Amino acid sequence: MRIMSFVVMLVVCVGGAFATAQVTPPSAAPGPAGNEHPESSAVGSTTELPSPFGPPVLDRAPMTVEEKAAFSRAVDLSPLAGLAVSHGGRVKIVDTLAGETVGMITGRGRYEDLILEEESDREIPAGVPEAAWRYSGDITGIEKVKFDPLFTWLDLMIDPAFYFDRPLIAVDYLPLRDAYLEAAFGGAEETKAARSLWKKSTRVSPRMVGALTDDIFARFGGSGPMRQGIESVENAERVFRLGAANLLLIAPNDRTDRWHHVSEWPAQSDVRLAASELGEAWRAADADRVNAAVVRLAETLPSINAELYPTTSRELELAYNRSDLFSWATWVYLLSLLALVLAFGTGRGWLRWTGGGLLVLAVAMHAAGFIARGLIAERVPIQNQFESMTGVALFAALVGLVLLLVRRQPLFGAASAGVGFLIMIAATEMPIPGESIEREAAILNTSVLLKYHVTTVLTSYGLITLGMIVSLFYLGAHYGEKLLGKSEMQVVAAGALGGQDAPAGGPTNARLLGDLDRAQMIVLQLAFWTLGVGILLGAWWADHSWGRWWAFDPKETWALITWIVYLIVIHARIGAGQRKGLLTAWLSVVGFIVMLWTYFGVNLLLPGLHAYA
Amino acid sequence: MSRKWQRVKRWDNEHLSAGPLRPLKWVLRALSSISLAISLLVLVAIYGVFASVPIGLLALLPVWLVIGLLALLACALPAVGAGALVRAAVPKELRGLRFAGTVLAGIALAVAGGLVFAEFAWQPLYRVGSTGEGIGGLAAFVEDYSSTTLRRLPGFEMSELEFYSWWPFRLVLVLFTINMIVATLRRIEFSFKNLGVLTVHTGIVMIALAGAFYQQAKKEGDTILFAGAGAPETGFFDIDRTALWVRTIDENLRTPWEQRPVRGVPRYNDYGLDASVPEDADLLSDLLETAGPVESPRRLDVRVPDSLPATRGLYVEPTLKFRLVGYSAYGAIEETLALQTDAPADRPAEPVQVIEFVSKIPQENAVSEDPDAELIPELARLSFRFPLRPLSPAHRVARNPAFGIELTRGMPDERFLELGTRFPRGTLHGLIVTVPESATEAGGPLRVVIPASEGEAYSIGDSGWTVAVKDLADDPPFPIITEGFAGGTSSVAILRMTSPEGESFDRWVYHRFPSINQELLDQVQANGRPSRRDPDPRIDVVYIDASRLQVFIDEMPGGARRFLVRQPGRDASVVAGDAMTLLDEGAVVAGDLREMGDDAYGVSLAFGESWAHGEPVEYAVPVPEVDRDASLIGTHAEAKLAVELTMEGVDGWREVVWLPFSRYLGVGGQQAREVELPTGQRVALAFGRVRHTFERFGLEMVDFEMISYDHRGAPRDFQSIVRVVPTSVTSGFDAYSRVVKLNAPLRAPHVWSEDRSWPANAALMAVRGVDSRAYKLSQAGWDQQGWQESQQLADQGLVDRPRARFTILQVGNNPGIHLIAIGGVLIGLGTPWAFYVKPWLVRRERERLARGAGVAREPIGAVGRVEREAQGAGA
């Protein structure tokens, strides 16, 4: 009978649907002006100006790594760190620019090099550059040295020759790195160790880039990932070569005027003389003179057009950079999670309190970093991938913390810590776009509605993650009884749901699953609601900004699909009977995966109107 | 199962179980089903997946699933094993230690498993995922379809919204809406506590119905407004619906364009790229073995609708029919020649002569592919073949940085002599300056021959004229657009001329086309461009580019040929007749591939095939994938459309013309193509977007401003001041100006009036919500280049501030948007009621009932439940 019903229903509805198919199809909405993040050039437009530090010395042997490391320890560049510089459409501090520059070139926060043992008398294979071979050295006796980004930033401009044959330029795409190393060293067995060392460094030398890139492009340019990789390498090489163009350190005398490059100032001005002195002393490896020139430069620059030279925000940005609150919060989240999980299993109250306390600390650090970033950027910091991830984690952790306090169930604390750790470890340790603070897309900064839309959607994403972790607890409780045994499960349940320490006072597993089901539904219902409201707010905003409330942009489509997953959760529970909790838990995991795709996959792989998201 | 649903089912069974009403019961049962709702929601999600994810990526899904599962196993297996070992080793009595050991060992081994996976398995597997290596067949598919969604395939050719408007998706949505209505009516009690779910369902139905109305009446597109345009803009172009635009060309009248909206124009794939190539034609590209039209595997055949009956014959000849026969989604139009041995009788012939350029390479410099060969043979090889059309200035020249060949027919003797003018040895650029009104002692006008160098100035005898050489360029700074010469190119001398009266101006003197020499004055026109004029007749300048080997071949009346050859820096040699002359020092020109000296480098020219007529044939060539701008794919912006023209009653006449896409018809020009009909009339055709008219108003651009962050940082906002003017006396409003900026659209026409009461105005505003003639205009684009250029002028103090020459506004009506918004609000409010208020109401009711039944209040919350458990255990 059910089949007959379905067939009849199809026949009835096809006619009506066919009629609707005759409707004129609508059109796709293009993104208006200002719909993309403003272009941020890694190198300023003043590339034709000479370096204010003077020309580099290229005709003598560069320092050894030991000498360079010793020199870096001897100089004190801290007075320069807080100076203002205009770059990428915003006024930031030199410390930030140095970190971004070094990060872009080397692919990591600091330049790292190796001090190798004395060269053995191995013969250099034919065709292999001597310097590159020397770097490969003996594999034994390696000492890794790390350089401060500010030091490296200046060194790249003043003494670039040191880096010509060093592992400087990041090549993240492994096949491309292999291609460079094979072209540089050949494929012979005798060069295997050298290739391996370079490969592990994840970087190649500027000389390799200069000499080999054209050939590699000719061979592999047909592959999209290779092309992207080569483009990234060439950008890094350009920043290495032309980084001095970014020295827009001199404030203008009018807000409508641009910042000026140091070399645009008169040659006999204090600032030029100080910069020149810094360059000369640097090349002479005279740390005392360098330190004196640094102090002079740091005193001179803020005095030029002092009324427009930024003051307080520089200190905040320096503190933000130095404190690295997001990284610290990440590890405190982990400690909190471990403490709470151990508390569940052992029933130790002090572990529960410790976990809760660490969670509060982590949330506080996280929130402090978030607020500081917002103050520095002069906007709500949720407008690129990195920022939205920190926002998602913070909102979810806060909701989890509130639920912990209101319902007094440590399970929410553990879930909150888990969300915080998982998202923040991804944000801080993976190459997520947007870690640098940049100006937002024009279309974003002119709408208050946007703030509500994005915040609501991000909150829902955080809640989905939180709900997924609660659902994992559910699945663990459902399937884990066989592994842990009934009595231990009772202890875990009591710990997670706020019961007594003693196993006799703990709930049965069925009761535990019931409570966990309620817990996951509390979070998932909230996620469903906030996501729905967020989507509707987005539709309102889209109508306002793009002229169409719903355009089936990939981001919209996938947000709807994510919402549909939870709509299915709500309706599927109606007929699921005793297994509704298990069904919900699995669908929660599915919903989380769909949300991940909506959040990351769509942004990275599917073009659309949400180009800035 | 709700009580209502039980009641409804009972009623169904009682009243609909027998007789002809039985199918109705099946329908109602099916449409009341929650399983059906879930199935339809899953279908919606799957449809969305196929609409948005490239099929190349979808093909990778299994690979990534395998990678994910392997990673999971790599972490989970060691973790579970470690946990089991700890549990076996630690006695149950040490509960805390046992648990902590299990967790910590599990985490440690999971991390270790993950690291092992990353070190040894990730890279080979990842390479499969990223480059397609490793799985036969899949790699090519993934690469080929890495950005191709289902809707882009031939047979679909839909934009995102078109795909979502396709009937299968509509069917699913209609079914879902009906399902929800029926299920709501038959399963859910209409009670206070169910207010939430009823509100949500009502909201969804409202959005569905209002959305359907919205989609039906929605018009959207954009319009471009120019500063100082003079007349208001009264319409806009549809966002992507296309039309064939046609008009009859009349030299005396400014005839209007007629738009014929066309459905079925592809978007993403190529069709009939050779549609304009006649069958069995002898193509020059085939003869020369150069790139030419390629037969398309897919054909296109879309009929263009005729004029509407009301306008039939008003715009173009009504018997003229159009079909779309080719489409290049992202291509360029190329041209070759269909070669004919006889000249056409009905129009001028276009003779074609192939000139063969043969290089001669002496032994010691010859290149052999066989490195072991003892004797490298001397090579005399055919290097290039140039098809030249002597009657077409743009096609009579072949040149590269080393040489230039020009084939003319009936070159005037004066010109031939000019080209052979002697210059001092070593001269690479020569000027021949004549002042016609002057007189020399010899009797003729003053004539000066000058070896010219950039940056040098020359006084022309005692005529008072001065000629300074500003630039000697291989190509003119701007393409030649003079009719008859368009597409041609020539080296050009840009001279700064100063007259005896002191007037200075620039003169552009072309080496090959002296008839199009022109002067650029210092005075600037209103549009910012310099004024131009024909050359001052008081002084004539000829420019000879002797910086490369130049060969001039002229076909004289009667068929004889004469040659003129000028080597770089040397004198010219002139030869008459078909014989050739050996020039000094071995460089050569041959009439019929005659050999030059044995040992020297040398080149020879020979006459190859010739035809009485070459008929130009256009065809489309796809732009390579790597050179495409991804944001333009599917927008028609770089598309080319082949249109076939036929006439009823004129057998055998057929013309196919390729049309580039015109985003804004009439702006930028050059997009329209002309075709001459058998009747002698000429029509113009263009491929553009459908144009809609604002019914009650027009728009004028008053001003524009780009606002940046401090210190000319990133753009912060874009603002246009736009004036809205009524276009008729019945428009019902007065002209007004508004600022249009990001997130602050302009609404037109303006309906709020001080003359009306507030309620009347409010009522009008409400009605406006469903009025499809009310538009919202948003800032969408701007003249970035003009702004930057004028910013530079402002920095130099030449203008007071930067300005834009135009602004682009996005246009759209919003019929029914308020109803959609109400639906959204209902969903937003109903959800928390259903989730939080209803459970509270139910719990309160249960407690009330329980109290009424004399049962003690049940403890609430986890702690309470634990207590109850404990009590139960104790009992």
pLDDT in tens, B749-767: 876 777 778 888 888 777 7
Averaged pLDDT for residues A504-514:
67
Comparing B510 with B567, the larger pLDDT belongs to B510
Those residues whose C-beta lies under 8 Å from the C-beta of residue A29, and which sit 6 or more positions away, are A546, A547, A548, A551, A553, A609, B220, B239
Question: Considering only A439-453, B245-259, B658-672, which range has the smallest mean pLDDT?
Answer: A439-453
Whether the per-residue pLDDT at A598 is higher than 80: the answer is: yes
Q: How far apart are CA A179 and CA A186, in angstroms?
A: 10
Instruction: Give pLDDT tens digits for A127-149.
Output: 566 656 665 554 455 678 899 99
Total length of chain B: 875
Question: Considering only A352-356, B548-552, B561-565, which range has the smallest mean pLDDT?
Answer: B561-565
Contact B745 A544 (CB under 8 A): yes
DSSP E strands in B649-714: the ranges are 654-662, 673-676, 682-693, 697-708
Q: Using a CB–CB cutoff of 8 Å, tell me whether B853 touches chain A.
A: no
Q: Is the peptide bond before B749 cis (omega within 30 degrees of 0)?
A: yes
The interface predicted TM-score of the complex, written ipTM, equals 0.76
Residue B366 DSSP class: -
Question: Considering only B203-207, B621-625, B697-701, B730-734, which range has the smallest mean pLDDT?
Answer: B730-734
Spatial CA neighbour of B521 closest among B503, B505, B537: B505
The residue whose two tokens read 């080397």 is: A106
> What phi-psi label fits residue A412: left (phi over 0), alpha (psi between -120 and 50 degrees) or beta?
alpha
- Which residue type sits at A94? V
**CA-based torsion, A303, A306, A312, A314: positive or negative:** negative
Instruction: Give pLDDT tens digits for A223-275.
Output: 777 888 899 999 999 999 888 888 999 998 887 788 889 998 898 899 999 99
Write down the pLDDT at residue B380: 47
Averaged pLDDT for residues A102-125:
75
Pick from B60, B150, B743, B865 the residue to mutate for testing the A interface (most A CBs within 10 Å).
B743
> Around Cβ B399, how many Cβ atoms within 10 Å?
20
If pLDDT is split at 50, 70 and 90, which confidence band does B361 have?
A: low
Whether the per-residue pLDDT at B10 is higher than 80: the answer is: yes
A221 CB neighbours in chain B (<8 A) are 626
Instruction: Give pLDDT tens digits for B681-738.
Output: 999 999 999 999 998 899 999 999 888 877 676 777 889 999 999 988 777 778 889 8
Q: Which of residues 622-681 of B touch A (CB under 8 A)?
A: 626, 630-631, 634-635
Write down the pLDDT at residue A408: 83
Q: Secondary structure of A361-429 in the HEC alphabet?
A: HHHHHHHHHHHHHHHHHCCCCCCCHHHHHHHHHHHHHHHHHHHHHHHCCHHHHHHHHHHHHHHHHHHHH
* Chain A to chain B Cβ contacts (< 8 Å): 308
Q: Which of residues 686-715 of B touch A (CB under 8 A)?
A: 709-715
- Closest residue to B27, CB basis, from A12, A89, A607: A12
- Could you tell me what percent of chain A has a pLDDT over 90? 38
Contact A174 B828 (CB under 8 A): no
If pLDDT is split at 50, 70 and 90, which confidence band does B501 have?
A: very high
Averaged pLDDT for residues A194-206:
85
Closest Cα in chain A, distance from residue B445 (Å):
50
Mean pLDDT across chain B: 83
For B101, phi then psi, to 5°, come to -60, -40
Q: Which of A226-235, A358-367, B255-264, B283-292 tops mean pLDDT?
A: A358-367
Whether the per-residue pLDDT at B518 is higher than 90: the answer is: yes
Write down the pLDDT at residue A32: 56
If pLDDT is split at 50, 70 and 90, which confidence band does B589 have?
A: very low
Q: Using a CB–CB cutoff of 8 Å, tell me whether B51 touches chain A.
A: yes
pTM here is 0.76
Write down the pLDDT at residue A198: 84
Residue A541 tokens read as 């905003």
Question: Considering only A26-30, B185-189, B235-239, which range has the smallest mean pLDDT?
Answer: A26-30
Contact B832 A17 (CB under 8 A): no
Pairing of strands B654-662, B682-693: parallel
Write down the pLDDT at residue A1: 40
3 state SS of A227 = helix
If pLDDT is split at 50, 70 and 90, which confidence band does A463 have?
A: very high
- Which residue type sits at A161? A
For A383, phi then psi, to 5°, come to -120, 20
Q: Secondary structure of B78-107 in the HEC alphabet?
A: HHHHHHHHHHHHCCCCCHHHHHHHHHHHHH
- Which residue type sits at B490? S
If pLDDT is split at 50, 70 and 90, which confidence band does A307 have?
A: confident
Contact B212 A20 (CB under 8 A): yes
Comparing B34 with B715, the larger pLDDT belongs to B34
Closest Cα in chain B, distance from residue A123 (Å):
31
B782 CB neighbours in chain A (<8 A) are 33
Contact B212 A536 (CB under 8 A): no
List alpha helices for B117-194, DSSP H. Answer: 123-131, 138-144, 160-164, 167-187
Comparing B783 with A25, the larger pLDDT belongs to B783
Residue B441 tokens read as 């002692």
Whether the per-residue pLDDT at A150 is higher than 90: the answer is: yes
- Could you tell me what percent of chain B has a pLDDT over 90? 42
3 state SS of A186 = coil
Q: How far apart are CA B644 and CA B662, in angstroms?
A: 18
**CA-based torsion, B140, B143, B146, B150: positive or negative:** negative
Reported as half-sphere exposure (CB side, CA atoms, 13 A), residue B401 has a value of 0
Averaged pLDDT for residues B814-835:
93
List C-alpha distances in Å: B5 to A62, B38, B182, B564: 86, 18, 11, 101
> Around Cβ A50, how many Cβ atoms within 10 Å?
10
Q: Using a CB–CB cutoff of 8 Å, tell me whether B36 touches chain A.
A: yes
Q: CB of B842 within 8 A of CB of B191?
A: no
Residue B176 tokens read as 């879902």
Write down the pLDDT at residue A313: 79
Write down the pLDDT at residue B861: 43
Residue B71 tokens read as 């990673």
Write down the pLDDT at residue B872: 38
Q: How far apart are CA B714 and CA A378, in angstroms?
A: 14
| DSSP letters spanning B424-492 | -TT-SEEEEEEETT---TTSS-EEEEEE--TT-EEE-TTSS-EEEEEEEESS-SS---STTTTT----E
Q: How far apart are CA B245 and CA A331, in angstroms?
A: 65
- Could you tell me what percent of chain A has a pLDDT over 70? 83
> What phi-psi label fits residue B300: left (phi over 0), alpha (psi between -120 and 50 degrees) or beta?
beta
Whether the per-residue pLDDT at A427 is higher than 80: the answer is: yes
Write down the pLDDT at residue A31: 55
Closest Cα in chain A, distance from residue B340 (Å):
41
For A141, phi then psi, to 5°, come to 70, 40
Spatial CA neighbour of A457 closest among A515, A412, A392: A392
Whether the per-residue pLDDT at B262 is higher than 90: the answer is: yes
Q: CB of B360 within 8 A of CB of B451?
A: no
Instruction: Give pLDDT tens digits for A384-403.
Output: 888 888 998 998 899 889 98
The residue whose two tokens read 């100089």 is: A75
- Could you tell me what percent of chain B has a pLDDT over 70? 87
Instruction: Give pLDDT tens digits for B218-248.
Output: 899 999 999 888 889 999 999 889 999 999 9
Those residues whose C-beta lies under 8 Å from the C-beta of residue A384, and which sit 6 or more positions away, are A37, A433, A434, A438, A612
Contact B167 A20 (CB under 8 A): yes
Closest Cα in chain A, distance from residue B742 (Å):
6
> Around Cβ B697, how many Cβ atoms within 10 Å?
23
Spatial CA neighbour of A249 closest among A294, A312, A304: A304
Write down the pLDDT at residue B605: 76
Whether the per-residue pLDDT at A612 is higher than 50: the answer is: no
The residue whose two tokens read 């004229």 is: B465
B769 CB neighbours in chain A (<8 A) are none
Q: CB of B218 within 8 A of CB of B294?
A: no
Comparing B64 with A289, the larger pLDDT belongs to A289
Q: CB of B520 within 8 A of CB of B534?
A: no
| DSSP letters spanning B382-438 | EEEEEEE-TT-GGGSEEE-SSEEEEEEES--HHHHHHHT----TT-SEEEEEEETT-
